[in-house]
Amino acid sequence: MPRALIVIDVQNDFCPGGALAVPDGDAVVAPINAMMDGFDAVILTQDWHPAGHSSFASTHGAAAYSLTTMPYGEQVLWPDHCIQGSPGAAFHPALRTDGDLILRKGFRPGIDSYSAFFENDRTTPTGLDGYLRTRGLSDLVLVGLATDFCVNYSALDAARLGYRVSLALTACRGIDLDGSLAAAETAMRDAGVQFV
C-alpha cells in the first residue's frame, strides 16, 4: 500500500527561539529527515499567514493565548507567527525539504488553518485530500509540530476522510496548553489513529 509522510509545520517560529516555540520542537528534525526515504511520497505543510491575520492576538489588541469567537467557532489568539516570507515562516534550516509537495495553509486573512486538509471552518479544503487521492496514497504517517494542534487536527481530518493514519510520536512535539496534549491523544486514539 503506497505510504505518504506528512510533515506538519516544522518551521522556525515553532522551534526554540521562535515566536510560538513548541518546547523541544527542533528535536523532530533529525528523526523526520531519517524517515523520509522510506515513503512513496513526502508532503510538507507550511503555516503561511499574512501580517495582521485574524488569529493573531495583536490584531485584536488581546492577550496571547486568550480565546475569541470567530464565525467558525472558538479561536485561540496566538502571538504573531509564520508571517509570509519572514524568517520565522521558513522551514527549520536542518530539515530536508526535498519532498514531493509543499502545501501552504493559513493564508486566508479571516480564518485560521490548523489541519493540513481543511481550514478551521472544517469545510474549506486545502487541496491535500485531492492530491493524495490522485496519487493513490491512502496510508499516512504524520509527524511534526505541534502534536496537540496542527498534527492533531490533520490526523483527525485524515481519519474522517478514510485514510489509514499513524502518528510517529518520536517525531512530534506538543504545546500542551491547559491539558491539550492529553485531550488530543485521546481524540486521535478514539478516531482510530495508530501511535507508532
- Could you tell me the CA-to-CA distances from 187 to 65, 78, 171 in Å, in that order? 22, 23, 19
Instruction: Identify how many contiguous H helices and E strands the chain contains and give both numbers.
Output: 5, 8
Q: Which of 3, 32, 21 is nearest to 64 (CA)?
A: 21
- Return the SS3 of 185: helix
pLDDT for the residue numbered 182: 95
Contacts with 178 (C-beta within 8 Å, 6 or more apart), sequence order: none
- Could you tell me the CA-to-CA distances from 34 to 20, 37, 177, 189 in Å, in that order? 25, 7, 29, 25
The per-residue pLDDT for range 149-169, each reduced to its tens digit, is 999 999 999 999 999 999 999
Contacts with 127 (C-beta within 8 Å, 6 or more apart), sequence order: 103
- For 53-67, letters b (16+ CB in 10 Å) and e give bbbbbeeeeeeeeee
The per-residue pLDDT for range 13-23, each reduced to its tens digit, is 999 999 999 99
Give catalytic residues, as residue numbers. Answer: 9, 105, 150
pTM for the full model?
0.96
Strands (E), the chain: 3-8, 41-47, 67-70, 73-76, 101-105, 139-145, 164-173, 194-195
pLDDT for the residue numbered 168: 97
The per-residue pLDDT for range 123-146, each reduced to its tens digit, is 999 999 999 999 999 999 999 999
Low-confidence ranges of the chain (pLDDT < 70): none
C-alpha span between 134 and 132 (Å, rounded): 6
pLDDT for the residue numbered 148: 94
